Structure 1
Amino acid sequence: MKIKYILSVIAIVAFTQNTFAQYSQDAIRFSQTVNGSTSRIKAVGNAGTAVGGDLSNVSGNPAGLGFFTRSEVSITPEYDNSKTKAGAYSATRNTVNLNNAALVIYNQLTKPRGADKNKGWLSVNYGVAFSRTNNFDQNIHYGGSNNLNSINDYYASQANQFGLGPEGSLIDAAYQQNLIDKYSTGPNPSDFEYRSNNISGSPVAQEGFINRRGGQSAVDFSLGANYSNKLYLGFSLSFTDINYDSFSTFYEDGSLSRLEGTPPVGTTRDYSSSYAQNQSTRGTGFSAKVGVIYKPVEAVRLGATFTSPTFYNIDDTYNEGVATSINKEAVTSQNSGNYTLNYNLRTPLKLAGGAAVFIKSFGFITGDVEYVDYSTAHLSSNPDYNADKIDNPDIKGLYKSAINARVGAEARITSFFLLRGGYGIQGNALKDNGSKIKTASGGIGLRFGAYYVDATYAHSTGNQTIFAYDLGNASPGAMLRNSNDNAYLTLGYRF
């Protein structure tokens, strides 16, 4: 593929033992969650803020629980096909997950004899749900010829900034494997700098593979109340989980100059090297949500939710290594060992509003708008980590607010068959590069008395730029075109 050389706004993680990761990327990665929902709400673009009466309300707008007049339970497995294209390179990943499982218990409030049963507080219903709110499963493959720089230039820049580091560190490994050396820049013994051993002007072949696994999930406990079939209020607590693994290997083939013989003379040799990075992140957190739905007239529902920041405690383990073969000799490799860190993350709050119009028993049209300011994500410093040195300034400088918009409709074709469609746009969190994620969805619903089946297909597309290493304006970036094809199946029962 053709590699574009553009400003590195998202450098890859970890470069020395003291500054081995840029957690600002993960702060945003873990902030881009979606509400868990059933196939029905997935089919209408996930625009469920004002719909009410769906098990998605347990994880979405809890005020919608007030619409239930019977208890209900459902389960929603998911099939996900992820595709990534980078020029002539492509990679796929197929997974099956439990996307959503929910239960609502209907609790009608008692009224004094003779009281109007349609006035005042009519019910307080309770719900619990498991939802998969973020999917990290992805394979990435990119590559190309680079005649401007080498990853060895990156190793040299780090050596000049931080020194070689302890034995076994990334930069020490590059030095021991003859990828970089110390060169004199003047007449004095102190005039020197580290430089790449690559032959000037000689292109290098580069290729990268990234394997990402895991996701985020939430368990929500919600309640929703119905006042006079007019006003619906809800509250929920969400306990969240992060499970993220990334395995990355970057390969480079080229020519370099190695000192050989007595006296030593610079000799041109071919080389092959690889740079591997492994990251494992686990975390737990909690958040709260309040919601409201109001019916100004019977056919119209207006909804809104406020979602607090999620407060995470995260454990991160990272290691990296370099392996090199020069002149087809035996491979020399070194690994850093594990770097571990525990830190706290606060994600942005979310505000959402929506409206739904019901056309008697024929169906409805619904739409949502959600606001998220990703620049307000915050990492907390501790004795082992100064978040305010690089990461928090990066979050404020590189990320911005975004609007997520969703629309959809449901049509009742017969008494037991429903047809649905929707469209959604997830706003771009980056000030530069990246793109919006656009999702088109459609589905059907079947009703069999107390039982029901809903099926949905959704197709999402978006672009992102990744960078193999950080050399400022000369950083090589690969433009990825991502797409996801998802299928959801909900099996439900009312009792």
Structure 2
Amino acid sequence: MKKSLFIAAAAAVPAIAMAQAGVDVAHLSELGMRGTARFMSMGGAFTALGGDLSTLGQNPAGIGIYRSSEVGITLDLNFQSFQASAPSMTDTHNQTRFNVNNFGYIGTMKLYSEATPTFSFGASYSRINSFDRVFKGNFNNLGGSSLSNYVAAFTNSLNPMGDGYSPYRDVDLIWGSNYNPYDNAPWMSVLAYNSLIINNGQENSNGQISFQGLMGDGTTGSANFDIREKGHVDEYNITFGGNIYNTLYWGIGFGITDVDYTQWSYYGERLSNAYLSVRTDEGPKDLYYKDVPGTASYGLTNYLHSSGSGFNVKFGLILKPINEFRIGIAVHTPTWYSMTDTYWGAIDYNMLPDNGLLAPNGEHYKNETDNVVANDSYDNFHDYHLRTHWRIMVGAAGVIGGKAIISADYEYRGANMQLSDVNNNEYVDVSDEIKTYYKGVNIFRVGAEYRVTPQLSLRAGYSYESSPVKQWVANDGENIQFAGTIPSYSFNKATQYITAGLGYRVGRFAIDLAYVNKHRESTWHAYSPIVAEGTIVMDSPQATVKSNYNQLVLSLGYKF
């Protein structure tokens, strides 16, 4: 059996022994379009409009538009559908979620001054993103790619000499009470070796080994996956603002964020004519034989829980040169998070040598079945600091005939994020990964409202958010680093929102309804392809995931 392909490619495989990689933390900065029903039904295009509870989290200058006080609450019923597609396979999962999207209070004081007529202050809660997603599927033909071979190449790539030999000996990968993941080999390598999905290959004069996976010439196989994500990002805003001569409106807001994300993932392979590493029924239990043909069946299970809190500051201005036209601008600082990750990984495996094979000592090879946990039945944890990107948004809005409003926004979200330890020592490699994989996001929002009667208004909107992933990275042009025992990752494409709604006013009371359709496609990878000098040496199983959300939103408000 020939495995030189994976040995030669070893130097191209990324390696990291930390608890986080760029792809593990980038999604924590994602934001959705959430807020009141009026805000959402107009596509969130409120940078220049203001006068809504949602603007406390968008353009704080919107609080200066208020001439009276308001209290309100928003409820959200979300019908979610996730479809995973791979060659010869499509699987759909549906679920329904109910949330309180937003509630808040704005108090306005009249100052009885021509220069500064009012001053307002407000407090609000908003769920600004949801991580809920469930998808699963299978790959009927792995086509020469296997997680075991990827991990073997990854383990070999840790040698700075780049000669295809791992800096570790086999004894360095054996799990025991003295194992220290911060001093020894990475968890994924140890987990794979103790689960028999990588084994000893060639050995050089220094005792270094070029580890090998289970797939080689003549090996065929299939795989299945199951991914379950849940969680949210909540934000609490305290905002102050006012207006100058009823022409210039200003605001400053302080945001406190709470993030909670959980991922449970499973990826399994079944290989025929695999090259196993098993032992005989007799003899030393640490005596293994490599390259024994047979059937290999194994599954990698991972659990990750990320939680933390952070803060940010928002500044905004709205200029109304004439009553029929407004322009707005807002700047959001990065959010500074203090985070904790809790995680574990495990592999269950079943190695079945071909019947009738005899070892050199004349004994039959032994079936190997077990379950290995990377951190030996306890949850590991890691504390760190995370700084997200800056945000800047501009908008314009016009009033037509006293009955119609048209509003448009543009927002730019940067790509730079920074990860550091609790002593603020930056993890430069992870920050550089994020710069390598991701780019700034461009967001366009448009909305319209038409007042049919003094009480009834109709609304519609649209929002487009570009992909945060660089195109050449999305096209498998880069080796993607991973951390811990989670080699899988997901890259999002563009996100679109189509919205509509209506509002009804009765005296001081208001009721608003909205329908929101959100659609996004992502590409999920079981592990990174191996890329050397711009050429894919070993591909990886990947699936297209279509996420479709249909939301019914109800807001109740009272002005006084």
Secondary structure in structure 2 of the residue aligned to 1:70: coil
Aligned-partner Cα distance in 2 for 1:421–1:368: 14
Query: Which residue does the alignment assign to 1:95?
Result: 97
Secondary structure in structure 1 of the residue aligned to 2:218: coil
Aligned-partner Cα distance in 2 for 1:149–1:105: 61
Query: Which residue does the alignment assign to 1:423?
Result: 462
Match of 2:70 among 65, 69, 72: 72
- What do residues 410-436 of structure 1 show as CA deviations (whole Å, max 9, x unaligned)? 111122221110000112111122421
Gaps of 5+ in 1: 1-13, 112-118
Query: Which residue does the alignment assign to 2:404?
Result: 363
Secondary structure in structure 1 of the residue aligned to 2:156: helix
Percentage of matched positions with identical amino acids: 26
Query: Which residue does the alignment assign to 1:318?
Result: 343
- What do residues 309-342 of structure 1 show as CA deviations (whole Å, max 9, x unaligned)? 1111111112111111233968410112233211
Aligned-partner Cα distance in 2 for 1:411–1:381: 52
Aligned-partner Cα distance in 2 for 1:317–1:265: 35
Secondary structure in structure 2 of the residue aligned to 1:194: coil
Match of 1:257 among 254, 272, 275: 275
Aligned-partner Cα distance in 2 for 1:377–1:260: 48
TM-score calculated relative to the size of structure 1: 0.89
Say whether the 8 Å CA contact 1:147–1:201 is kept in structure 2: no
- What do residues 433-467 of structure 1 show as CA deviations (whole Å, max 9, x unaligned)? 24211111111112122111111111122222121
Aligned-partner Cα distance in 2 for 1:137–1:56: 22
Say whether the 8 Å CA contact 1:270–1:327 is kept in structure 2: yes
Query: Which residue does the alignment assign to 1:377?
Result: 417
The letter of the residue matching 2:395 is G
Query: Which residue does the alignment assign to 1:297?
Result: 322
Q: Matches of residues 131-170 of structure 1 in structure 2 within 5 Å? A: 131-144=126-139, 145-162=141-158, 163=168, 165=173, 167=175, 169-170=187-188
Could you tell which deviates more after superposition, 321-330 or 119-128? 321-330
- 1:333 and 2:391 matched: no
Secondary structure in structure 2 of the residue aligned to 1:395: helix
Shift in CA distance, 366/441, structure 1 to aligned 2, threshold 3 Å: same
Query: Which residue does the alignment assign to 2:299?
Result: 274
Could you tell which deviates more after superposition, 358-367 or 311-320? 358-367
Could you tell which deviates more after superposition, 466-475 or 298-307? 466-475
The letter of the residue matching 2:294 is R
Say whether the 8 Å CA contact 2:270–2:298 is kept in structure 1: yes
Aligned-partner Cα distance in 2 for 1:39–1:217: 17
Aligned-partner Cα distance in 1 for 2:206–2:314: 64
Say whether the 8 Å CA contact 1:170–1:322 is kept in structure 2: no
- 1:202 and 2:267 matched: no
Q: Matches of residues 86-235 of structure 1 in structure 2 within 5 Å? A: 86-87=84-85, 88-111=90-113, 119-144=114-139, 145-162=141-158, 163=168, 165=173, 167=175, 169-184=187-202, 190=207, 192-235=209-252
TM-score calculated relative to the size of structure 2: 0.79
Shift in CA distance, 361/396, structure 1 to aligned 2, threshold 3 Å: same
Could you tell which deviates more after superposition, 149-158 or 364-373? 149-158
Query: Which residue does the alignment assign to 1:452?
Result: 510
Query: Which residue does the alignment assign to 1:19?
Result: 18
Query: Which residue does the alignment assign to 2:36?
Result: 38
Shift in CA distance, 266/100, structure 1 to aligned 2, threshold 3 Å: same
Aligned-partner Cα distance in 2 for 1:50–1:189: 68
1:397 Cα deviation (Å)?
A: 1.2
The letter of the residue matching 1:147 is G
1:173 Cα deviation (Å)?
A: 3.4
Shift in CA distance, 265/214, structure 1 to aligned 2, threshold 3 Å: closer
1:181 Cα deviation (Å)?
A: 1.4
Say whether the 8 Å CA contact 2:224–2:268 is kept in structure 1: yes
1:214 Cα deviation (Å)?
A: 0.6
Say whether the 8 Å CA contact 2:56–2:63 is kept in structure 1: yes
Shift in CA distance, 15/326, structure 1 to aligned 2, threshold 3 Å: farther
Q: Matches of residues 459-470 of structure 1 in structure 2 within 5 Å? A: 459-470=517-528
Shift in CA distance, 455/35, structure 1 to aligned 2, threshold 3 Å: same
1:485 Cα deviation (Å)?
A: 1.5
